[in-house]
Structure 1
Amino acid sequence: MKKRLISLLLAFSMMLTFLPAGAVSAFAEENIDSSKGTLIPNNFTGSVYTIAEDNTTYQMRGDYNFPIEITAKGVTINIVGNITYGFDSYHDESWGFSYLIGVKSTGGVTINNYANYNVTTSKSDYGFVATWGNGTAAGSAIINGGRYTTLNQEPFWNSQGEMTLTNVTAECQNDLAVTNRAGTMIIDGGSYKSINSTAIYNNRGGEMTIKGKPEVVAQNGVALCSASGVVTVEGGSFSGGNGSYSDTYWTSAESAVCNWKNSKMTITGGTFTGTDPADAIVNNGEMHIANATVDAKNGSALKNQYLSGGKYSASTEIISGTFKDSAKGIDLQSGSVVLKNAEFSGNRADIYLNTGKQITIEETFNHNATVACADPGDGRQLTTATTGEYPKNLNLTSANEDYLVGYKKTADGKEYRCLSKKVGVTINGLKGEIKAEDPAEFTVTLTHENSTGTGILTFGDKNSEIEYKDKNGEYKPMPEGGLPIDLGDVKEPYAFHITPKNAGEQTLTAAVVRDAVKLGTAEEGFTVTGRVHTAVTIEGLENAVIKEGESKDFTVKVTPNDDAKLGEAFIDFGDKNSEIEYLDDNGAYQPMPEGGLPIDLSDVKEQYAFRIAPKETGKQTLTAAVKKGENELAKDEKDFVGSEMPILTLKDGVITSVTVPGKNGADPEDITEIVKKNANEDGSFHVPEGATVSVAFDKDAFADSGLKFGHWDITGLDDPNAYQDKESFAFEMPAKAVTLKAMTQDASIEDDEPDIVGPIVIGTTVVVGGAVLGYQAYSLGAEFAGKLMALPYFPSNRSALAMMLWEDAGKPMPESELLYPDVGQEERDMDLQHAARWAMENELIPDLNDEGTAPEEMKFYPDNAVSKIDVLNAWQKAQELKQNA
């Protein structure tokens, strides 16, 4: 058998080795192929080579010293070699510059340069393709692939025409790489570069779409500039704006991207980098940004400002994106910015506001940002005022020294964030050690030069322990919210005294609050000695798992400390008193008194013993409190889990007995009747883990049916084969759900009759225990095949088959989380849900649903019978799946 396998593998290897030569492709310069069209001759002697016939195909390579004019539609030009071009005395459309290929308003061409041949010019002021339109008709050009290099003229010019550049590489030394003037242009992938000018330029109301993630670079200029029109950027990388170049004729911006005048630019992805020290994006028109990554090392990631040529809207909407590693993330010089959401990192200031400018930040913003102003001052407004309470929750911090970001609410209900001047706070004279419940004096000095308004001096949760000295020299309780302070009126130190309530190491924190921000804080540590209150500890319950119907012992330790003299108190468990019993002096458990268990703090036990029988399942918290009247002296909390008993589902069978081990070595306890009386509505039973359960086939139910016991379909037991053929058996209940289904057969079948379904064909190759049966139509009895293939047992329906395959595979989780509607939805049914979904996803069991059934409506048909051939085929597929994992 092994020799046969090796022979098969060798034959397969030889088949791969002798593949036809045409299956391997290689790059080579194309030869002239007449099927690629008529070759435009290099030795044409006329002034202009004109293509006027529609739907014609040409090819080009070599040197051209004459221009080509296209007036026809449907023209195709295949570039089959490198091209160099240049000629004299030809100026297209009276513009004073020339192009090798000019597409008139009546023309249309597709230029294919898939092999990426080099197309270069021998003249300084020549470009490759220009398309023209006249307002009523538009010439069109589609350029696929190729590398195009020019000196002083852009390789691609579109004037009122239509142009598409796909995976094109274009570079110009001293001018633009691409211009779209009042036309429609699509740039799909590729690379565009200008050494000393702008790389891509859109103007005169042109419409441009950039997609396919092109790389756009301007070493000494702007990578992408739009002076008017509509530009959509779906992705790509854009870098440029070097400070050594400033094209003031086109724009005064030094940036990677410039949106100028009345241009509208929408960015939905891409990376934008301003070459140090330039900005990354400058907007003077209308701009929308989403999913962009923007950075400018010593410039602004986004600068919103008016540029030369007039004041336009300069409005920017930031929907999402990342602004990072820049001097300024968002630089609002003029116009307006609406920030819906964005992430900031590594910026010296995430948001910079020019004098008097405010940014609009919407409720959707859920990140943090630093804000700096050109004109910081106490109360300086940072965000536009808006209704609603969300501005208070914006995570903003000040990048201006000595200022914090505060919050204000106007008289008409509008809210905004503002700068708030810091206030110096100092605590003086607080003793390091204070006796509990004895007052101690201290003072607070405030430094608040150039601050305005009213602040609140507060000591937080210690306000209730503090009194302040009023103007009449009397000590009065601190107002609940703190003491109002006029920050514009410097006074002598403010006097207080504190009467601590609790012993131990403590910290007094003084804070001045205004505009919903702490303008200044000071801390002073001290120790409170003297009174130590009661302590209480729950022991023996932490993270315990208590099974349903059972109880758990635990203890409560009470340490009265200085509360011993208080005498009578109570241990109280609140709403769980009804679930708890206490151990009395006679060693018997008694129900908890409704108000709690009385104890004497002057004579406490070492520990108080209790037990709890939870009424609910799931994670719970037990709180033990020691109370004196309504005053809570101490409390402790411990978490535990109430665990539900596993479920036994029995079909066409009966429970004959259920026993649980006796306590302390006693005889087993019979709980059969308890289990049966508490059966669930669906006929299943709650059975304690570890119980011994005896079951039998329900003969009475089939007395006159002509059927008798066949075997059990078993899920949930580790060794189903041990019980499958027994009409009655006993097992130990595991921690998980168990399902037992008695399967019947014709009563006329003898028990010792061979269970052979006849010869079967098992594929072309069957893997059995590592051996290979490698010839066609190998047939053998199903039972014998099952033994050879290490099949655990023969399931009779789809649910049992799914469970067998799933458990053998190690119980992997399916990809989908959808549940089958015809399989149980309870927790105990989840194993079958997972098994069924996994088997269907891996095509181990046929899909019986109609084509087009929605995923959430698909059924599993768990009770449908499966043949032994179905089982063997499914088992074989499952084993192959394991081997290939």
Structure 2
Amino acid sequence: MKKFGTRLISAVLAGCMMTSVLPVSAFALEESTEFEGNVSAQENSDAPAAVYSLHGGEIINEDFIAKHGGSNVYSMSNADTEEGAYKEGIVIDAENADVVINVTGDTTFDKKDGNKDDCANFITVRRANSVTVNAEGQTITTAEGGLAFSRCFYAENSFTGTAVLHGGNYNWQCDDISACYLCGGSWTFDDLTLKTIQCAIETDKANVTVNGGTYDCHDSDSATFMIMNSPKSSFNYVTASGAGWVLSTNNSWVDVVGGSYSRNKDVEVFIQRPTLRASDNATLNVTNADVTGTYCDVFVTGATANLFGGTYTNTNEYINHEPINYESPALKVWNGGTLSVNGATVDCTGGNAAISSGEPAGSDYDDQAGGKLVVDNCTIKNSKYGIYLGQGSNASAELKSATFEGTESDIYLESDKEITISDTFTTQTTIKVADPEEGRQLTVAGNANKLHLKGQNESYRVAYDKAQHYYYLTQRAPGYTLTAKDATATIKVGGVDTKVDPNDEIYEGTPVTLTADPAPDGQKFAGWAGIVILNGVVQNEMNDLLSFPNEEDHTTANFEMPKGDVTVRAVYKAVDPVEPPVDPVDPVDPVGPVDPVLPGVIIGGAVILGAYETGTGIYRLMNMQGLPLPSDRIELAELVWERAGKPEPQNMTDEDLYADIDAADTDAQKAAHWMVEQELMKFDEDNNKFHPCFPVSKLRVCLTWQNAKDKGLID
């Protein structure tokens, strides 16, 4: 953070020169750490006024300034006092004055009567145009043992000017009131270090801007920053900690940019205090801050909070210590508030939720709990629930996008609650409800059938209502999937023909209509190919189930949904095909033996029913249509390698190129080495040969292709 002292002193000098008054202290600050002290106005009115050293008990008003030569620049340190400490405070009450106080050495406030329980203020501001306190490199503290009711700075509501505090190490051990209590004016804290027992900064109608610095409060019932009734306050790159709230604001507008905010780890105070709290119509905007909580990171009640980026870590480390006996979400909205979280990382340890709106059923607060929750582009991890939508008439949640890591359930809904999910969020997401039953609605009406929700309630799955456009729970057992390739499958929903999508589940016996896509140029419809699989076992071929409303045109077919998952595809062939001769037996791969051809073997959704040509033909129609059929090992290797995007092999060197492939044929060498590395093909280790020209069977081609798909190497 930039230091402001020299720049402001220059401004003070310029102002004094305009009035022909040159404060000695200004030169002393730039040239020396020593100031002239206790000097009254000089007899020659044209001479520059001397700096007055404050010793406590002064009221700086118009008369006081005139009495001391018109100078409004003062010095302060223990050395300026007779007793080595300030026994009385200082009051600033000069409506049009620009008062500057330069702290030149260690400064201690200790009351004259020694009664620590009497209320006293070190510096009180009633009226002034501006107040500047320069304390860079200096220490300002209370007397040993502290002053229970002592404030370092107190601004009365009559103060409407500006105050700037530059630097300084403040150690204000006040037990029962805030170190800085500001009821008026606009205050700027630049690079202060302030350690307190009670609240560091408290406002009531004043505005504060805190730039940098370190703030620490050790009172569990207090807040490091208590911002009340402030029209505009901001905290920029501040490091702050507290045993209670670190920042609490109500009926105020507060912007937080960067910085670190955390609960004290060295104070064992087992109390329910969120790190940041916004309440009572406050607006809290937090951008790219690091926030750590032991109970809750951010709590919004009857207010608005917008979180942009940043990290929010909730350790829940005080669980099972009275009075805390349950785990808390990292981010929580309550009592009709609004919480918008965009681009943040939320890490919440424990058996609760990372982000929540509302309370569990039966909670003492479920009637008033809950607010509007919006989550977008966030990473949510390590909690039992990612997003929790609980009880409360005001509780709602909208998920635009998120990444969930290490959550037991990504979304949890209390009884009768429905979540709004953006159609653009298609990542697989788990969802669980407190009240599962047939037809239980999960999402607010209005979704397209694009989401990928996975139900976690036993015996129920997630289905989509195409008429009302929402997701709901239905009994898991009767539903099966239907995948139609190069064709459209439709069923009747509410009397309306509705397209079936691959993630739909359809009851056994449901009438289905298949309509083949228009044939590609130069081809014509040749029929249907497909299978039915139940629990991984082939039941029958689709052609056994099909009927045709027009026997002259099989491009439209009907069937009843069987007991099992269906995959079906429209097949096309050349308009005037030239039928090739059928090889009686394909040669065997010399390096990788062909698996036995047995009835019932499933290859990527096709079944070898004992007939070699039927099995490989179905597989190629279903999975390799339009691809050339390799005849030898190197053609097969290059086909798969090119389909995978021509990846570079990891271990190919000039020394281990295959001896029977031309070294100049780089693509062939890469394809062969990559296929061996992926364990899709083998090579002759003894002779370092690949045998590129050995023929391969159709079955070997199908098996190798499917193996590459199973490994995720090709689509």
TM-score bin, normalised by smaller chain? 0.5 to 0.7
Partners of 2:563 and 2:283 in 1: CA distance: 49
Aligned to 2:89: 67
Amino acid at match of 1:345: K
Q: Does 1:127 align with 2:164?
A: no
% of aligned pairs identical?
Answer: 11
For 2:214 and 2:399, locate their aligned partners in 1 and report how far apart those are by CA, in whole Å. Answer: 36
- Could you state the TM-score of these two structures normalised by the residue count of structure 2? 0.52
Aligned to 1:167: 191
Partner of 1:193: 217
**Shift of the alpha carbon at 1:535?**
8.4
Is the partner of 2:105 in helix, strand or coil? strand
Secondary structure of the 1:348 match is: strand
**2:337 counterpart SS class:** coil
Q: What residue number does 1:226 align with?
A: 249
Q: 1:167·1:191 contact (CA, 8 Å) conserved in 2?
A: no
Encode CA deviations 1:724-754: one digit per residue, 9 max, x unaligned: xxxxxxxxxxxxxxxxxxxxxxxxxxxxxxx
Kindly report the root-mean-square deviation, in angstroms, between the aligned alpha carbons of the 2 structures: 5.6
Bigger Cα Rg: 1
Residue 330 (structure 2) aligns with: 301
Correspondence for 1:141 among 164, 168, 178: 164
Does structure 1 retain, via aligned residues, the 8 Å contact 2:215–2:224? Answer: no
How many pairs align? 463
- Note if 1:362 corresponds to 2:407: no
Q: When you count strand as a share of all residues, which structure comes out higher?
A: 1
- Written as runs of structure 1 = structure 2, the 5 A alignment for 1:310-325 is 313-325=337-349
Distance 1:536 1:67 in 2: 104
Does residue 311 of structure 2 align to residue 288 of structure 1? no
Q: In structure 1, what residue type is equivalent to 2:311?
A: A
Q: Which amino acid aligns with 2:262?
A: F
Structure 1 residues 314-323 or 367-376, which shifts more? 367-376
Q: 1:158 aligns with which of 170, 182, 205?
A: 182
1:528-539 aligned within 5 A: none
Is the contact made by 2:385 and 2:412 (CA closer than 8 Å) also made in structure 1?
no
CA contact (8 A) 1:570 1:626 kept: no
TM-superposed CA distance for 1:75, in Å, is 1.0
Query: Are the structure 2 counterparts of residues 421 and 328 from structure 1 closer, same or farther at C-alpha, using a change threshold of 3 Å?
Result: closer
Q: Is 2:442 the counterpart of 1:383?
A: no
Q: Which moved more, 1:225-234 or 1:65-74?
A: 65-74
Which residue does 2:136 correspond to in 1? 114
Q: CA shift at 1:638, angstroms?
A: 12
Question: TM-score when scaled to structure 1?
Answer: 0.43
Describe how 1:476-491 pairs up with structure 2 within 5 A: 484=507
How far 1:351 sits from its partner (Å)? 2.1
Deviation at 1:111, TM superposition (A): 2.2
Deviation at 1:266, TM superposition (A): 1.3
Tell me how far 1:205 sits from its aligned partner: 2.6
**Counterpart Cα distance in 1 of 2:448 and 2:391:** 25
In the alignment, structure 1 residue 345 sits paired with structure 2 residue 377 = no
Question: How far apart are residue 300 of structure 1 and its match?
Answer: 2.0
The 3 A distance-change label for structure 1 pair 451 and 101 is closer
Alpha-carbon spacing, 1:260–1:618, altered in 2? closer, same or farther (3 Å): farther
User: 1:160–1:82: structure 2 CA closer, same or farther, 3 Å change rule?
Assistant: closer
3-state SS in 2 of match to 1:422: coil
Shift of the alpha carbon at 1:189?
1.8
Pair 1:77–1:539, CA change in 2 (3 A): farther
Contact 2:277 2:298 in 1 (8 A): yes
The question of whether the paired residues in 2 share the 8 Å contact of 1:216 and 1:239 is answered with yes
8 A contact 1:403–1:422 mirrored in 2: no
Cα offset, 1:154, TM superposition? 1.6
Residues 455 and 153 of structure 1, relative CA distance in 2, 3 Å threshold:
same
CA contact (8 A) 1:108 1:140 kept: yes
In the alignment, which of 227, 237, 247 is matched to residue 202 of structure 1?
227
Could you tell me how far apart the structure 2 residues matched to 1:77 and 1:185 are? 21
Distance 1:127 1:459, change over 3 A: closer
Check if 1:255 corresponds to 2:274: yes
Question: Which aligned pairs between 1:471-620 and structure 2 lie closer than 5 A?
Answer: 484=507, 499=539
In structure 2, the CA distance between the partners of 1:99 and 1:569, relative to structure 1 (3 Å rule), is closer
Q: Post-superposition shift, 1:410? A: 4.8
Aligned to 1:668: none
| Whole-angstrom CA distance in 2 between matches of 1:351 and 1:264 | 22
Tell me, in whole angstroms, the C-alpha distance in 1 between the residues paired with 2:264 and 2:349: 16
1:86 maps to 111
Structure 1 CA distance, aligned partners of 2:35 and 2:300? 50
Structure 1 residue aligned with 2:296: 279
CA shift, 1:321, in A, is 2.2
The one-letter code sitting in structure 1 at the alignment partner of 2:384 is: R
**1:555-704 counterparts in 2 under 5 A?**
626=697, 634=702, 636=704
Determine the C-alpha separation between the residues in 1 that align with 2:563 and 2:331. 37
Distance change in 2, residues 1:84/1:568 (3 Å): closer
Change (3 A) 1:413 1:566: closer
1:214 aligns with 2:253: no
Do the aligned partners of 1:224 and 1:256 also contact (CA within 8 Å) in 2? Answer: yes
**Partner Cα distance (1:574, 1:85) in 2:** 91
Give the whole-Å Cα distance in 1 for the aligned partners of 2:305 and 2:589.
63
SS at match of 2:403: coil
- Structure 2 gaps of 5+ residues are 1-31, 39-49, 79-83, 317-326, 359-369, 462-471, 484-500, 510-533, 542-561, 566-583, 599-607, 634-659, 676-691, 708-715
* Partners of 1:60 and 1:419 in 2: CA distance: 69
- Any stretches of 5+ residues in structure 1 without a counterpart? 1-29, 91-95, 247-252, 307-311, 426-449, 462-478, 487-493, 502-509, 514-532, 541-555, 583-608, 640-885
Measured in 2, the distance between the counterparts of 1:304 and 1:373 equals 16
Instruction: Specify whether residues 139 and 102 from structure 1 end up closer, same or farther in structure 2 by C-alpha distance, changes over 3 A only.
Output: farther
Shift of 1:415: 7.2
Once the two structures are superposed, what CA deviation does each residue of 1:358-393 show, in whole Å capped at 9, x if it has no partner? 421114x234453464635xxx5542155x3x3443
The one-letter code matched in structure 2 to 1:282 is: F
Q: Could you say what secondary structure the match of 1:64 adopts?
A: coil
Q: Secondary structure at the match of 1:80?
A: coil
Deviation at 1:353, TM superposition (A): 1.7
Q: What SS is found at the alignment partner of 1:393? A: coil
The 1:111/1:618 distance shift into structure 2, 3 A limit, reads farther
Cα distance in 2 for residues equivalent to 1:366 and 1:262: 31
Residue 512 to residue 202, structure 1, CA distance change in 2 (3 Å)? farther
8 Å CA contact 1:456, 1:512 repeated in 2: no
**How far apart, CA to CA, are the structure 2 residues paired with 1:635 and 1:69?**
91
* Aligned amino acid, residue 179 of structure 1: E
Provide the rounded CA distance (Å) in 1 between the counterparts of 2:663 and 2:441. 51
Once the two structures are superposed, residues 74-106 of structure 1 have per-residue CA deviations (whole angstroms, 9 ceiling, x without a partner) of 51322412312336899xxxxx95421123442
